[in-house]
Each structure stands twice: as structure tokens, then as C-alpha cells.
Structure 1
Amino acid sequence: MLRSKRKIIISVHGIRTTGAWQKQIASVVSENGWIYYPMDYGYFTAIHFALPFVRRSKITWFCRQFDQIKERFPEVTPSVVAHSNGTYIVANALKTYPHMRVDKLILCGSIVRQDFDWKTIFERKQATLVRNEVGVKDIWAAHANWLAWGDTGSSGQSGFAKEHVRLLQPRFPEFGHSTFQAYGHYRAYWLPFLDEPKPYEGETDPPWYAEEPVSPYDAARWSAMTYYHQYICRVHDAIADHEAFAGNGSDLLPAKCLWVVVPKTPGQAAKGAVTPFFQKHALKTGSAGKKDPRTFQYNGGEILYDIPTTLNTLSFLDNRQDSELDDAVAEFQKWLERLIHSSRSQCADTVQVKRIEELPATLP
């Protein structure tokens, strides 16, 4: 059994976006050995946002998704990063469902009401710390309440009205609604905040001190499920809808199938190892889907290629043994193939899983 101090980071995107920043922080999170779960409720238009019943339905959706993670990892206390409408969803989920507990919470481009009662959230032990990044030039946060009939606020542009020792509100004078989207910002501000041990109000130990060790096999299975739902299903749908595009984003490719290339070790799924592999085979980068695209590699265009970089997360588990990690890669492949060929899946005809050592010298 291997131990990981903080096992899960959840991210929630905003409206009128494909959540590109959620993909950006995947590598940053994996470098710390944390399992990453980018929650995706689809492309959310301004019209959807303006309808109260649609907007609030996502609060219930988030709670269901959160509870599913807790059922899978009952000893885990996830941390959450939310942007724009995602801040509204998460804050109101905490307010509505007292059983929901997170460790850290990062708010960017927050549209939560300025009078939100964080004091009660902390007293109910629902969060250890909240970081609200205030972008002084965030015009969208300043005026979001116009669309939401007073149900939201300008906390992302002006801050929350009531201060609290557990509520951090750093001000960024030059930040707009999405300026935070930069690797340097994630590493300089987010990672130290997420990694800081902090107990709930009235307690002495941080949440992760009480967590059970996580085996590399459990981590591999969770990574397989995340990769299947967040990547494979999206690419499959894009192939079926004839939405596989070349690098210019407009030329259609004659895509027929996706080859998922499984490396020998988790380290071979790291960006530093994946890029040389693609360059060796002269593969080019394309995109699948229009509203929420996923990237892939291609040669002639009929076969799309991807190496699951989520596997690299396993490399950062504490006290790991190479033999266990090699077995975990095999576990990842087994679970992935099980999901692809399950009775509920429609991906079996378009997705093939290939071991990297079994690939032909020249990729088709």
C-alpha cells in the first residue's frame, strides 16, 4: 500500500467556456501525485445562466458528482478549484448540503454574493480554508448579478464583505475574469495553498492526517475511469459526428478510430516523455469536438493517437516500488478495456488499446 497526502483535486468550470484551464492544471496537479477530477457540466450559455432553475440544477448535479467521489474514496477530503459559475455552484452546494466537506477551496472570477455566510461554513467544518482571488479588472464578476436577478455578486472583483481568518482574499490589480490561467500562477499560489496542512475549526489535525493509504491499483482504476469519461467518450463522439480536425482547427480528418497507447511505466506518460515519442513518429496535433475539444495526435488522419498522461500521477505516490507501479499500469489498461467493452459503452468499435512496445515501427 502506498500513501498520498492529498488524493483528489476537483475543478469546476464557468459559463461560455470549454474549461481549457482545467486541462492546463492537470499536469501541475499530477506532479504532486494528486488524483485530479475535472468536473464538466457541459457548455453553459449566458441564457442558461440567466434561468434560475437551470442555474440551480447544477448545484444538485455537483452534489451528486461529489457524493460519487466520496462513495469511491470515503476517507478522502477533496479540495476544490472553481471559476466563474463554478464558484456559484460550489459555494451554494456547501450552503445547501451541510454534509458536504472539502479541504481547501479556491475561487477565481467569483460570482458568489458578497454577503455569503462563510462563517457558518467554517463553523460546520465544511472547509478548512477558502482563497478568493480578487481580480480588480474583472468586469464580468462585477456585473454578473444583472443576469442572475441578484442571486450572484461581485466577490471576484470586490471581495466578500465579511472578513474571516480562514477566508483569504489576495488582490490582483491587473487581473480580469480569466487572467489566473497561467502555469506560473498555479505553481506560485495554488499548489502551496492546497498543500498547507490546516485543520477544521475546533480540530487539531488536518483532514488528510486521518486518511488511509491508497494503493497504486486503486489510483490506477480511478485514473482509468477519469480518462475514459473525460477523454475517450469525447473523442469517440467527435469521430461519430465527423468533428476530428487537423492542427489548424478547420480541416476535417477522415478519422475512423482512436489508438490509446499505454506506456510501460507511469514515467513514460509524463509530458517530457510523451513529446519525444510523438516527435519520433512525426505525429501532428489535432482536436476532437467543437464545443469542448480534446487534443490527439495523428499521421494520415484515419487513426488518432493518445498517451494517457493521467498515468503519470502514479509516479508521485509516496514510498512507491517500481514493481507495484508497473503492475498498476497493467491494472489501468485492464480497467480501461473493461470500460470500453462494457454493455453501456459505445466505444468498442472506434477505440483500441495498444501497449507501446507492441506498436509497429511506422505508425499508420
Structure 2
Amino acid sequence: MTIDDVSPLERWVDALNRKVELGEGLEFSAVQLARQLNEPDIASLTAFLAKLVALGSATEFTAYTCPMSSCRKTLPSGVDPVACPFCRVTFIEEGVTPTSEQFFRLTGEISRDIRWMVVIHGMNSRAPWQEAFSWEIANLLKYSAPVLIYKYGWATYEVLFPGIHRRMAKSLGRRIRIAIGRARAANLPDRPDVIAHSFGTRLFSLVLQDPEFADLRFGRVITAGSIIRPDFDWKRHFRDGRVEAVLNHVAAKDGAVPFAVWAIPGTGPGGKVGYMAQQVLNVRNLQYGHSSFFEDQHLPALIGENGLWRSFFTRPLKPLRDDGVFVQKDAWQPPARWRIITARAGGCIAIAAVVLASLWLLKLSLCW
């Protein structure tokens, strides 16, 4: 089908659906839309928009346009039109009057900006992607978005002990609280967006559960390679206003997540089977492994124009769709306790063996 085979009505519907999907350009006059669509039949287009108003898919209101030929911009609605905020002209001083025009507003959410972000990396990540991520954010987005990349050090045997998890999570929560205070001072929103990967997802989940940080609120959250339990109570955190939205990006070829439940207390294969909470958007990529999200060949696509992560952070959520979206309906049960204890005991023995072997090799090298 060529463009000539598409009826004007189909072109109009497609264009308006795209506006709603992106959350951009929701307000316009019939003349502006006709100019955008290269549509000569303004009368028919106006009649179509009037039908949308009758159906409740749009609203109609009177807007004013700056009369200055060098500007001609639409003035903000709800403001007495005495001056133009764009060209700074005071109308009475220039002896001109703003022109009124009927505008339409589509029913839908407007797009949002990424104002600032917290990134929590995975275990033992020297993370060259961290610099690449900040660079991509700065260059691909149309606004400056400060990025706090939280570094909790080099974790080894610590992951075996829940008490150490909680201590590390408290350090993370306190660091985020400091960052929120600085954001307020810089007139940025209180709620940062969040990207958490691997063991970073475990720490973020503990921050959400810790009463000390009940005051912290977050915007949209992406978990990648998550080791959070599939039955984590996201519903409660949505209800309490702790998070605005959650995207769980699942890697089908992730070989690390399934073993987390055996080695790391309190964890689960959320990054493999998805979260059970209906409020969460689970998306599976069939080609990704545990850290593919941050590799050079994938990261620019994820946060570039129309990329999944960028769309999740900036666009209305309802129209957001991806081929990998799935719903986790199966009940999840952790392995039997005795199996977990046996596996973790084996892990401790393995770590001790590695440490002893390293010490022995060090001693041997010193003897030589």
C-alpha cells in the first residue's frame, strides 16, 4: 500500500495516535494540524476534530496567538494575554491585540523529561559502561540529565550475609537522600529515576523495604539482570507512592540470575522469570545475556530515539508496547531451605578454598 492508497481519515487517525503515543503535540489548532499533515481540506479536518470532542477523545478551547509577525506562537492557556512570554512584547505598548483561535487537546498523558537519575551497578563491575552511559545520556537526550552512578565497592564473600546486604543498602539510601537534598537545592524534582543492575537491584529493593528510608520517593525504575524475588511486593510500593512505574528488563540468556537464589540470601530470579505484580512492565529480550544491556552494541539503542529505556522514561506508559512484553502469572516458590543451606555452604567452602590457594601461591612466590 502506497501513501496515495491511504484515505485522509486514516492519515489523520494515525497522526493523532502517534501524538498520544509520544505524549507530544497534544494541543493544536485545525490550521496547525492541517499544515503538519499537508492537508488542504481544513473544513473536513475541523469536522473530524469536532467528532473527537463529542466522543470524549479530545477537548476544545480558545487559545490566543501572538500577533507579532516574527513570533506567531500560541500563548499559554489560562493566562490573561497581556504580553508574549516568548518574544517579550507587551501588546498594549505595541498597539496590537492577540488573535484568538479554537484549539483542540487530545486526551492523554504528556511526555516527561528525565530530570536526573540514579544508576546502581552490579557485582564487581569495573564498569567501563558507566562513562559510556553518562556520555550517551548527555548526547542523545535533548536536555541535561545529571546521573549519579552509585559505587558500593568490590563485593565477594559479603553477598553471602544478609546483614552486610542491609548495611550496604543503608549506605545507598543515605547517599540517595543526600542527592535528593542537592536536587531540591538545584530546583530539580525530588524523585530520581533509577536504573539498577544485578546485585544493585537487591540493594535498591532493601532501600524500599527499610523504614529508615520510607520518605524517599522514586520516579520510573528499570531493573536489569534483576536478582529481586519474583513475588517482591511492588504493589505496596506503588500504593504508597514510593515508585511511579517499574520496567523489569529480562535477558533470556542470563546465566547468572538463576544461581543467585542459591548463593545470595533474600534474592530470586526476577531477572529471568519476571515479577508477578501486575503493575510492573516485564519485557524479555531473547538475545541478551546478564550484562548485555550495557554493552556498546546495545546501550545506545536502548536509550536512543525510540529505544525501550528512553521510551519508558519519557513517554506515557499506557501506549508503551514492546514485542517482549509478558505477564508473569505463575506462582513462584523459593527452593527448599535445606537445598539453599547446602548450596551456600558449598559456596563458602569454594570461596575459602580460593582464598587459601591465593595465600599459598603468594607464599610460594615470596619463597622464590
| TM-score (structure 2 length as normaliser) | 0.50
Is the 8 Å Cα contact of residues 49 and 148 (structure 1) preserved in structure 2? yes
Counterpart pick for 2:171 among 53, 56, 61? 61
**Structure 2: which amino acid aligns with 1:51?**
F
Q: Following TM superposition, by how much is the alpha carbon of 1:19 offset from its aligned partner in structure 2, in angstroms?
A: 2.5
C-alpha distance in structure 2 between counterparts of 1:184 and 1:6, whole Å: 17
Counterpart pick for 1:157 among 272, 281, 298? 272
Aligned to 1:34: 145
Alignment of 1:179 onto 2:287: no
Is the 8 Å Cα contact of residues 113 and 313 (structure 2) preserved in structure 1? no
C-alpha distance in structure 1 between counterparts of 2:316 and 2:218, whole Å: 13
C-alpha distance in structure 2 between counterparts of 1:104 and 1:11, whole Å: 12
Counterpart pick for 1:43 among 154, 162, 171? 154
**Structure 2: which amino acid aligns with 1:186?**
I
Is the 8 Å Cα contact of residues 111 and 141 (structure 1) preserved in structure 2? yes
Aligned to 1:129: 245
Paired residue secondary structure (1:191): helix
Alignment of 1:76 onto 2:190: yes
Deviations, residues 71-111 of structure 1 (Å, cap 9, x unaligned)? 11234321010100111111221122321111010100000
Paired residue secondary structure (2:247): strand
Give matches, 1:200-219, under 5 Å.
Answer: none
- From the superposition, tell whether residues 34 and 177 of structure 1 become closer, same or farther in structure 2 (CA, over 3 Å): same
Counterpart pick for 2:201 among 78, 82, 87? 87
Aligned to 2:231: 115
C-alpha distance in structure 1 between counterparts of 2:249 and 2:284, whole Å: 6
Paired residue secondary structure (1:131): strand
Counterpart pick for 1:22 among 130, 133, 156? 130
- From the superposition, tell whether residues 193 and 162 of structure 1 become closer, same or farther in structure 2 (CA, over 3 Å): closer
Paired residue total:
192
Paired residue secondary structure (1:105): strand
Alignment of 1:98 onto 2:214: yes
Paired residue secondary structure (1:139): coil
C-alpha distance in structure 1 between counterparts of 2:204 and 2:252, whole Å: 22
Aligned to 2:114: 6
Is the 8 Å Cα contact of residues 219 and 245 (structure 2) preserved in structure 1? yes
C-alpha distance in structure 1 between counterparts of 2:277 and 2:317, whole Å: 21
Give matches, 1:302-313, under 5 Å.
Answer: none
**Structure 1: which amino acid aligns with 2:289?**
G
Aligned to 2:355: none
What percent of counterpart residues are identical? Answer: 27
Is the 8 Å Cα contact of residues 98 and 124 (structure 1) preserved in structure 2? no
Q: Following TM superposition, by how much is the alpha carbon of 1:136 offset from its aligned partner in structure 2, in angstroms?
A: 1.6
Q: Following TM superposition, by how much is the alpha carbon of 1:16 offset from its aligned partner in structure 2, in angstroms?
A: 2.0
C-alpha distance in structure 2 between counterparts of 1:111 and 1:58, whole Å: 16
Alignment of 1:52 onto 2:169: no
**Structure 1: which amino acid aligns with 2:138?**
S
Q: Following TM superposition, by how much is the alpha carbon of 1:60 offset from its aligned partner in structure 2, in angstroms?
A: 0.2
RMSD: 1.9
Q: Following TM superposition, by how much is the alpha carbon of 1:196 offset from its aligned partner in structure 2, in angstroms?
A: 2.5
- From the superposition, tell whether residues 35 and 176 of structure 1 become closer, same or farther in structure 2 (CA, over 3 Å): same
**Structure 1: which amino acid aligns with 2:249?**
E
C-alpha distance in structure 2 between counterparts of 1:135 and 1:198, whole Å: 21
Q: Following TM superposition, by how much is the alpha carbon of 1:25 offset from its aligned partner in structure 2, in angstroms?
A: 1.0
Q: Following TM superposition, by how much is the alpha carbon of 1:193 offset from its aligned partner in structure 2, in angstroms?
A: 1.2
C-alpha distance in structure 2 between counterparts of 1:6 and 1:189, whole Å: 14
Q: Following TM superposition, by how much is the alpha carbon of 1:192 offset from its aligned partner in structure 2, in angstroms?
A: 1.6
C-alpha distance in structure 1 between counterparts of 2:209 and 2:289, whole Å: 27
Is the 8 Å Cα contact of residues 8 and 76 (structure 1) preserved in structure 2? no
Deviations, residues 283-336 of structure 1 (Å, cap 9, x unaligned)? xxxxxxxxxxxxxxxxxxxxxxxxxxxxxxxxxxxxxxxxxxxxxxxxxxxxxx
C-alpha distance in structure 2 between counterparts of 1:23 and 1:157, whole Å: 27
Q: Could you list the runs of 5+ residues in structure 2 that have no partner in the other structure?
A: 1-111, 319-368
Paired residue secondary structure (2:293): coil
Higher relative contact order (CA 8 A, sep 6+): 1
**Structure 2: which amino acid aligns with 1:27?**
W
C-alpha distance in structure 1 between counterparts of 2:147 and 2:253, whole Å: 30
C-alpha distance in structure 1 between counterparts of 2:198 and 2:192, whole Å: 20
Aligned to 2:353: none
Q: Could you list the runs of 5+ residues in structure 1 that have no partner in the other structure?
A: 200-364
| TM-score (structure 1 length as normaliser) | 0.50
**Structure 2: which amino acid aligns with 1:156?**
G
- From the superposition, tell whether residues 68 and 142 of structure 1 become closer, same or farther in structure 2 (CA, over 3 Å): same
C-alpha distance in structure 1 between counterparts of 2:114 and 2:247, whole Å: 18
Is the 8 Å Cα contact of residues 13 and 85 (structure 1) preserved in structure 2? yes
Q: Following TM superposition, by how much is the alpha carbon of 1:142 offset from its aligned partner in structure 2, in angstroms?
A: 0.9
C-alpha distance in structure 1 between counterparts of 2:129 and 2:245, whole Å: 22
- Write out the 4+ residue segments of structure 1 that deviate beyond 3 Å after TM superposition: none
C-alpha distance in structure 1 between counterparts of 2:197 and 2:153, whole Å: 14
Question: More displaced, 13-22 or 33-42?
Answer: 13-22
